[in-house]
Amino acid sequence: MRMVRVLLFCFAALLVQFCLPASAGVEAEVRDISGKKYFDAVHLAFRNAEDSIYVAMYDMRIYADRKSGPQFDLVMDLIAAHKRGVKVKVYLDRSESQDQTTGKVEIHDGNALAHDLLQRAGVDVRYVVPTQRLHAKLLVIDERTVVDGSANWSFSALTENAESSTMVISQQYAIIKLQWMWKLKLQKKPDSADDLPHSKTVR
């Protein structure tokens, strides 16, 4: 059954890429999940995921001294989905920027602990190359549900900020977003967790 779903998805992807004009509309069910509705909607979607979860996230910020909060719960949802056999792939930002005053190169490393937790649990988690800033907050679930908007996975974004987020249920739209994700340039995968640049300082 899973193989049939994969074949159907591949056929649909080819149809979107080669047969549909760029201006073609997409039929979809659209739900507003802005503000505090985001966590409940994504938490439920992750728990109900059957086949796959893809995540491209700029900031997945959890802390070593505070393993709680909605952002931590969503990371644990990904690990739980992986453990029950769902294909989980996570792409995170670790971009470099240069301070215009000092010239010092700084690395966005706020995703370090989330990366470690996912990697040590066996989840396929990768950094995008430092020269490409991944500023997306994009989820694709079961190749038919897309969540996109302004919300990072941080405590402030999920509990305090005025964030705008949308859930779109459409296989055709999901294919378009997955094709965007697959074009991301990824860092070489380390041989082990100990090869990660932050693994000696963040546990």
CA dihedral 61, 62, 63, 66 (to 10 degrees): 140
pTM: 0.80
What 3-state DSSP class applies to 165? strand
- Please state the separation of Cα 54 from the chain's center in Å: 5
Q: What is the pLDDT of residues 22-69, one digit of tens each?
A: 445 778 899 999 999 999 999 999 999 999 999 999 999 998 877 889
pLDDT digits (tens, 9 = 90+) for 137-180: 999 999 999 999 999 999 999 999 999 999 999 999 999 999 99
Q: What domains sit in the chain, N to C, each tagged with a CATH number?
A: 28-188 (3.30.870.10)
Measured at the CA of 120, the angle between CA 200 and CA 139, to 5 degrees, comes to 115
